[in-house]
């Protein structure tokens, strides 16, 4: 369905900043809820304070408003019902446009509370009389751009004309895959008219009816996206690779460790796909220590032996270097080159890059001429945008492998619906047990600070290393509650002179390499950094990681950080240090991390929480809103499951 800006786009005005560009798209910007104004209260004697739900009262303004000036002006209004029972309302800011004059009848929504024996309405808002007895939609606004109330006014102005157009467009789009009536019946809504569904999604008779209508539209959006993705046919390769499973076995036998059955099965599966004309799109999912690097390196070696060329892209140059060093140790006969931001741009170096069988590097690869490639491998896919992950597939027919412990939701959806092949690695070359603990705010901050410091000290006393992660990099970043990496490093250096190294995304490549080497060689014992360390850097002696303000980070990033611990096996610890109160949903996410060490399960939970993203082939959106159908609304995992059998 086209999203080009048509002639009718001028009718939309600032509404276009929320997504819709044409009139028919307006109804696809759904309200995020409704104000229930069906039962206005005109007799105040029945009002009871202490509730959490807003009510609507209708009364006369008893006196001239009491206006009080200060930093924020406040206007206090007393309303009377027919028996002169009072309710007081306080409006903040400039209220001149509200026309609050004595004797005027107005309707106000708010939450009843009591103060000094008087009933007040908290968080009040004026209700237009036309909405009394109805459900009023609540639309999203955009700060400094368009207010939610303005959005509502514009939406209600345009909906009568837009809904018929949206109905026709949706029907046309759905018909390409399945008759609309059949789809509605399969979803359990046989005989329900699509136009009525769209109307009810905006102005329903009840909240339940509105929620039901929106669920139907979400299922339709999911059906359209999944159907579109499932029918995608990639271009054919003009050449095939003479790869062999025997070569894969031979390369695997030269590793300094033995691959398990699952790892070998993954290698053989990918090698068999490399022999075909269809470009492979393959996901390797496995927790830290499950052997992802060995698996994709074996596949890369097979391609190199067959005369093909491979690029391996990692989030950091230090990780790319680490991967290439392993490949050189395992199979020294394979020509290779490292490409990072520090790699010289001389003609000689460029020639070596274009001729090497395997090149590995950071995103610097995207800005170099690397020659024709047969296979692109992206390590730690969650650290890249889709444009970056596919940026080296310049011909369009390259094979692509992405590896991660925590798939992004969009990739999980593509795997689920057959667009990508998939290998899940369950084994690990070492046995380890990591205890994850949430250290939360108690009666005062001092006890939990002492708890954390005791944990750090006990790890150092045991002769092991500690990693401390802060979400901000510089002191200049706006959030005074969160200590920056630089400040934290100075603090720990005072406590442990000569024992502290620092790493962050703003450092040069050689500075990062030097910091990690100091920890790896145990010249330093404490590494203070940002989440840049989350990807597969080996620190063999690391036994404990402390994450400050973990609620500011995603599940995937936290799980990756946990994977740095106890790389050599044994007992490890992760402390989630929460010095401030956090929202219930944030606490739920952190508890999920405590409850499971399975990155695959955490990815599923992430998909349930964040949505699966736009899985269309043209999209670069990794998770969240699918803005080709419903603007600002996620395609939920539940919606995907509801249409799975209909594809």
Angle at 419 between CA 416 and CA 422, to 5 degrees: 60
CATH of domain 432-597: 3.40.50.300
Is residue 407 within 8 A of residue 285, CB to CB? The reply is: yes
CATH architecture of 245-425: 3-Layer(aba) Sandwich (3.40)
Is residue 312 within 8 A of residue 300, CB to CB? The reply is: yes
The predicted structure's pLDDT at residue 201: 96
Rg value, the chain, Cα: 30
The predicted structure's pLDDT at residue 480: 39
The predicted structure's pLDDT at residue 72: 87
260 Cα distance to chain centroid: 33
The predicted structure's pLDDT at residue 535: 56
Is residue 378 within 8 A of residue 384, CB to CB? The reply is: yes
427 Cα distance to chain centroid: 27
The predicted structure's pLDDT at residue 119: 93
Separation of first and last alpha carbons in the chain? 19
Residues counted in the chain: 647
DSSP string, 480-508: TTS--HHHHHHHHHHHSTT-EEEE-TTS-
Q: Residues with Cβ < 8 Å from 68, sequence gap 6 or more?
A: 74, 75, 76
CA 316/CA 531 separation, integer angstroms: 12
Helices then strands, each counted (H, E), the chain: 18, 21
Does the fold of domain 432-597 match that of domain 39-133?
no
Domain ranges of the chain: 7-33+137-230, 39-133, 245-425, 432-597
- Select from 621, 289, 548, 563 the least CA-distant residue to 425: 289
The predicted structure's pLDDT at residue 481: 41
The predicted structure's pLDDT at residue 626: 42
39-133, which class in CATH?
Answer: mainly beta
* H or E element at residue 80: strand 74-80
The predicted structure's pLDDT at residue 3: 44
pTM of the model: 0.64
Question: Could you state, in chain order, the average pLDDT of each consecutive group of 10 residues for the chain (647 residues)?
Answer: 50 90 93 93 90 91 92 93 94 89 94 91 91 94 88 94 94 87 86 93 95 90 77 77 94 94 95 92 84 94 96 90 95 95 90 96 92 93 82 90 79 72 79 87 69 92 92 48 73 93 80 86 90 66 91 83 82 91 84 83 69 49 48 72 68
115 Cα distance to chain centroid: 43
Q: Using DSSP bridges, classify how beta strands 281-286 and 421-425 pair: parallel, antiparallel or unpaired.
A: parallel
366 Cα distance to chain centroid: 24
CA 531/CA 247 separation, integer angstroms: 38
The predicted structure's pLDDT at residue 625: 40
Q: Using DSSP bridges, classify how beta strands 86-92 and 74-80 pair: parallel, antiparallel or unpaired.
A: antiparallel
């Amino acid at each position: 369905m086209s999203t080009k800006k048509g002639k009718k786009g001028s009718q939309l005005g600032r509404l276009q900043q929320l997504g819709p560009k044409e009139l028919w798209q307006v109804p696809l910007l759904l309200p995020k809820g409704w104000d229930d104004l069906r039962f206005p209260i005109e007799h105040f004697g029945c009002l009871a304070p202490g509730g959490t739900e807003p009510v609507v009262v209708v009364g006369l303004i008893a006196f001239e408003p009491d206006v009080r000036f200060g930093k924020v002006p406040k206007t206090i209004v007393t309303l009377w019902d027919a028996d002169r029972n009072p309710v007081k309302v306080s409006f903040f800011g400039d209220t001149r446009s509200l026309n609050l004059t004595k004797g005027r009848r107005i309707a106000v929504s708010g939450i009843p509370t009591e103060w000094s024996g008087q009933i007040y309405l908290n968080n009040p808002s004026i209700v237009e009389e036309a909405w009394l007895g109805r459900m009023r939609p609540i639309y999203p606004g955009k700060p400094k751009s368009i207010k939610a109330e303005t959005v509502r006014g514009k939406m209600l102005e345009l909906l009568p004309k837009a809904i018929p157009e949206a109905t026709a467009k949706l029907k046309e789009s759905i018909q390409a895959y399945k008759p609309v009536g059949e789809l509605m019946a399969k979803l359990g809504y046989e005989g329900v008219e699509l136009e009525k569904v769209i109307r009810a999604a905006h102005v329903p008779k009840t909240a339940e009816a509105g929620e039901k209508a929106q669920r139907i539209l979400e299922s339709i959006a999911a059906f359209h996206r999944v159907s579109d993705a499932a029918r995608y046919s990639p271009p054919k390769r003009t050449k095939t690779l003479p790869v062999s499973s025997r070569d894969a076995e031979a390369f695997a036998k030269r590793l300094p460790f033995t691959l398990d059955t699952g790892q070998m099965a993954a290698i053989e599966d990918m090698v068999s796909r490399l022999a075909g004309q269809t470009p492979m799109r393959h996901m390797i999912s496995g927790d830290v220590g499950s052997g992802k690097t060995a698996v994709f390196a074996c596949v890369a070696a097979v391609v190199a032996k067959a005369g093909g060329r491979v690029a391996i892209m990692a989030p950091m140059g230090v990780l790319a270097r680490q991967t290439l060093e392993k490949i050189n140790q395992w199979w020294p006969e394979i020509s290779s080159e490292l490409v990072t931001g520090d790699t010289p741009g001389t003609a000689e170096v460029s020639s070596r890059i274009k001729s090497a069988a395997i090149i590995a590097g950071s995103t610097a690869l995207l800005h170099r001429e690397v020659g024709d490639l047969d296979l692109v491998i992206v390590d730690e896919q969650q650290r890249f945008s889709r444009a970056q992950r596919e940026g080296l597939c310049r011909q369009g027919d390259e094979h692509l492998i992405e590896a991660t412990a925590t798939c992004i939701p969009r990739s999980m959806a593509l795997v689920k619906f057959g667009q990508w092949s998939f290998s899940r690695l369950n084994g690990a070359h070492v046995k380890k047990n990591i205890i994850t603990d949430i250290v939360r705010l108690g009666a005062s901050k001092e006890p939990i600070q002492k708890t954390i410091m005791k944990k750090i000290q006990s790890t150092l006393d045991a002769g092991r290393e500690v990693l401390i992660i802060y979400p901000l990099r510089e002191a200049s970043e706006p959030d005074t509650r969160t200590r920056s990496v630089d400040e934290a490093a100075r603090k720990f250096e005072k406590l442990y002179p000569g024992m502290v190294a620092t790493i962050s995304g703003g450092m040069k490549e050689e500075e990062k390499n030097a910091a990690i080497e100091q920890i790896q060689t145990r010249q330093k014992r404490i590494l203070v950094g940002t989440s840049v360390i989350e990807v597969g850097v080996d620190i063999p002696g690391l036994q404990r990681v402390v994450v400050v303000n973990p609620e500011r980070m995603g599940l995937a990033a936290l799980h990756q950080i946990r994977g740095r611990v106890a790389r050599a096996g044994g007992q490890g610890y992760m402390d989630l240090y929460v010095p401030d109160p956090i929202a219930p949903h944030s606490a739920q996410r952190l508890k999920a991390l405590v409850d499971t060490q399975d990155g695959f399960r955490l990815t599923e939970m992430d998909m349930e929480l964040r949505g699966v993203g736009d899985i269309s082939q043209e999209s670069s959106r990794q998770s969240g809103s699918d803005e080709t159908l419903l603007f600002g609304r996620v395609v939920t995992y539940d919606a995907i499951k509801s249409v799975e059998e209909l594809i």
